[in-house]
Structure 1
Amino acid sequence: MSDGLRHTYAALRAGRAPAGWVRLGGNERGALWMLLAALGFTLNAAFAKTLAQGGMPVFQIAFARAFFALAPLLPFLLAGGLVAFRTRHPGTHLLRALFGAGAMISGFYALSTLPLATVTVLTFTVPLFAVVLSVLLLGEQVRWRRWTATLTGFGGVVIMTLPSLLQDGGFVLEWALLAGLGQAFGIAMSVVLVKRVPASESQPVMVFWFCLASIILTAPLALMQWITPSQEQWILLAAVGVTGFVSQSLIIKAYRSGEASFVAPFDYAKLPIAVLAGWLAFAELPDWATYLGGAIVVGSTLYIARREARPAEGSRF
């Protein structure tokens, strides 16, 4: 073992971060956490796509996603006693879980039909929906430049979907595309609802109630179409839950480590990772419309993220 590896191993055994990691600035560490989250979310989608294409009902995948995401959290919450589960906002948590469960089901349905890269690009429309919902539900003020970016982003979605909608000289409604957009809308609703929960509500409590409510909401639908999983499918179902939980935790660490305006763009690493994963695992290659529309969506959401990261400056726009 080299001296560098020996020092790293000793630091980890002692519960200390390696010296190289400590020397990194907050933004650099945040970027690395975000890149790991992008990899984790892509693996999560690939596992779910494999299950859906193998005949596993999307309701059952959504149930497993919530169930296995809750399992790693329980030991920490149980150690804190019943007070760790207490909340004063059960209605908001239930509503958030309703939209979150809908987003999961829609996303898994989209993955069963659409290329991995296409579904990934559609998730990038979350900030676009969030702008509209923040105005309608939270009364936030949005100036014309951000509205322009939002409309431009949705224009990119139209470009992406044109080859699927216009087939054989006619208009064909692609339900999987609507499901992909439904996933983004559900996630955006969950994000907006989080803003209505006071900062005093801890992150573990919010995750616990979200997972518990999602389990309750998806369990009846999953039981109606239940298919006894094989050993390999059980492993994949558990992987969907655990990678989803870990990736979400990495997102939180990324934003806590660095500045949002610096860290946020690294989330778009999901797209090249998804293109590579789709090609290797599913023999998928995106068409020109996905690249062009995806570039427009990414550019629009990057602009919105930059405005939101600097609210004082962004208020002029």
Structure 2
Amino acid sequence: MVDTPPRPALPADHGLNGSMHKTSSLAKLREAGHAAVYRAAGGNRELVGLWLFVLSTFFGTGMSLCAKLLARQGVPVFEVVLVRSLTLLAFTVPVLVRQKVNPFGDQRRWLYVLRGVLGFGSVSLLYYAVTLLTMADANVLAFLAPLWAALLSPLLLAEWPSSGLVVALPVSIFGVLLVAQPPWLFGLSEGTVSILGLAVGITQSLFSALAKMAVRALNTNTESMAAIIFSMGAVSTLCSAIAVTVLGQWMLPRTASALALLAANGLMGYGNQVTQTAALQRAKAAPAIAMSYLSVIWGLAADVLVFHDAPDWLSLLGAVIICGCSFAVAYWERLEKQRREARERTAAVLLGDEEAVQPLLDPRPAATATS
């Protein structure tokens, strides 16, 4: 019996194996490239969210400026709130009809209603606090909202504040005190501070933080931005209409400037809601709310440019501190996120855990609704 020599491998087999290996390598390179893009998109998403909140503070200050000018013309506060709320509805209802979205038609309707109630409560308590306290005291208490968010986010949203935020918040509050210079702290008080006013102001800051956290909670699933804003507008319209009727404060504007200010107030109110909602859909609640300190900067600018009320050096120092802390929060959040992703990526590679590596290769951010 003659032994048959082994058949040599065909060159074509080598070519096929080499081609498959090359294809696999190219696929891995493409996958790594896609992962880098998605990681960059996730980081930019939070940064865009923080910048949107900066823009929302600008709209918010403009809205307050219009309201203050309207008050000087005798337009009641709740009438201004009503016009603002109707403007929100005018912009959001057509979007909801086009998208065929019923904001109160699913199991999360209670969260929409809660967001609207908290938002209106925050505005109402702010005006009530102003009647009991000086403007400086009320403004200082309003800026306690970021502290409430930092304290409650771990419990309600499972979002832990960064170490940078823990440092920036008390420093920012110190800056707010320098700008507002409340008489009860700077030894200029002519009487006792209303305990009820302090309680109302602190409660207002809590409502403000909870309203923003409700928007963040709605982002756990894909939600319509128009639906979120509609809930605020609908509840505010109902409540402000009742308040105007009960208090008998309805007054038709008599001048063109009053009509223009009402329209501007409504438009800026809508812009404030859109940018704020979009910001909170992209950034964590506590660092985003910390950006609200920038409204002090815009307020100082309005005092100088509109009311010709120049701030003193303490106010300017406080403004610098607030601005620096706000931008530091954005930087720390971005830096800590990059470090966390690097640690997770390194640990997964060292352990050879393919299931752990895969999310890092494809960390697509959760989808959120846009208007």
Verify same fold: TM over 0.5: yes
1:305 aligns with 2:333: no
Partner of 1:62: 81
Partner of 1:100: 119
Partner of 2:212: 191
How far is the alpha carbon of 1:83 from its aligned partner? 4.5
Match of 1:286 among 305, 311, 314: 311
- Backbone CA RMSD of aligned residues: 4.4
Cα deviation code 1:124-165 (max 9, x no counterpart) = 654333212213433443465533332333333444454422
Scaled by the length of structure 1, what TM-score is found? 0.68
Q: Distance in 2 between matches of 1:177 and 1:284?
A: 26
Cα deviation code 1:58-105 (max 9, x no counterpart) = 333222221222212222222334657644312212222122112223
Long gaps (5+) in structure 2: 1-43, 344-371
Q: Distance in 1 between matches of 2:292 and 2:170?
A: 21
Partner of 1:44: 63
Q: Secondary structure at the match of 1:204?
A: helix
Change over 3 Å in CA distance of 1:270–1:140 after alignment to 2: closer
Q: Distance in 1 between matches of 2:253 and 2:181?
A: 38
Change over 3 Å in CA distance of 1:152–1:60 after alignment to 2: same
Q: Where do 1:1-317 residues align within 5 Å? A: 37=56, 39-81=58-100, 83=102, 86-108=105-127, 114=135, 119=139, 126-142=145-161, 145-165=164-184, 166-167=187-188, 171-173=192-194, 184-197=205-218, 198-225=220-247, 226-232=249-255, 233-250=258-275, 270-312=295-337
Partner of 2:11: none
The amino acid across from 2:215 in the alignment is V
Cα deviation code 1:170-190 (max 9, x no counterpart) = 654598888776655433211
Q: Distance in 2 between matches of 1:305 and 1:111?
A: 31
Q: Distance in 2 between matches of 1:307 and 1:101?
A: 32
The amino acid across from 2:301 in the alignment is L
Change over 3 Å in CA distance of 1:81–1:139 after alignment to 2: closer
Contact kept, 8 Å, 2:50 with 2:330, in 1: the verdict is: no
Change over 3 Å in CA distance of 1:143–1:38 after alignment to 2: closer
Q: Secondary structure at the match of 1:41?
A: helix
Change over 3 Å in CA distance of 1:67–1:181 after alignment to 2: farther
Contact kept, 8 Å, 2:172 with 2:322, in 1: the verdict is: yes
Contact kept, 8 Å, 2:215 with 2:280, in 1: the verdict is: no
The alignment-based identity, stated in percent, is: 26
Q: Distance in 2 between matches of 1:276 and 1:253?
A: 25
Contact kept, 8 Å, 2:78 with 2:240, in 1: the verdict is: yes
How far is the alpha carbon of 1:45 from its aligned partner? 1.6
Cα deviation code 1:184-223 (max 9, x no counterpart) = 5433211211222233111111111221122223322222
Contact kept, 8 Å, 2:146 with 2:289, in 1: the verdict is: no
The 10-residue stretch of structure 1 (45-54 or 203-212) with the greater mean CA deviation from structure 2: 45-54
Change over 3 Å in CA distance of 1:110–1:282 after alignment to 2: farther
How far is the alpha carbon of 1:257 from its aligned partner? 11
The 10-residue stretch of structure 1 (235-244 or 82-91) with the greater mean CA deviation from structure 2: 82-91
Change over 3 Å in CA distance of 1:284–1:70 after alignment to 2: farther
The 10-residue stretch of structure 1 (52-61 or 245-254) with the greater mean CA deviation from structure 2: 245-254
The 10-residue stretch of structure 1 (126-135 or 296-305) with the greater mean CA deviation from structure 2: 296-305
Q: Distance in 2 between matches of 1:169 and 1:188?
A: 32
Q: Distance in 1 between matches of 2:204 and 2:320?
A: 20
The amino acid across from 1:156 in the alignment is G
Change over 3 Å in CA distance of 1:157–1:103 after alignment to 2: same
How far is the alpha carbon of 1:46 from its aligned partner? 0.9
Q: Secondary structure at the match of 1:167?
A: coil
Q: Which has the larger radius of gyration?
A: 2
Contact kept, 8 Å, 1:45 with 1:111, in 2: the verdict is: no
Q: Distance in 2 between matches of 1:142 and 1:32?
A: 18
Scaled by the length of structure 2, what TM-score is found? 0.60
The 10-residue stretch of structure 1 (48-57 or 268-277) with the greater mean CA deviation from structure 2: 268-277
Q: Distance in 1 between matches of 2:90 and 2:331?
A: 35
How far is the alpha carbon of 1:268 from its aligned partner? 7.0
How far is the alpha carbon of 1:47 from its aligned partner? 0.5
Q: Distance in 1 between matches of 2:280 and 2:156?
A: 25
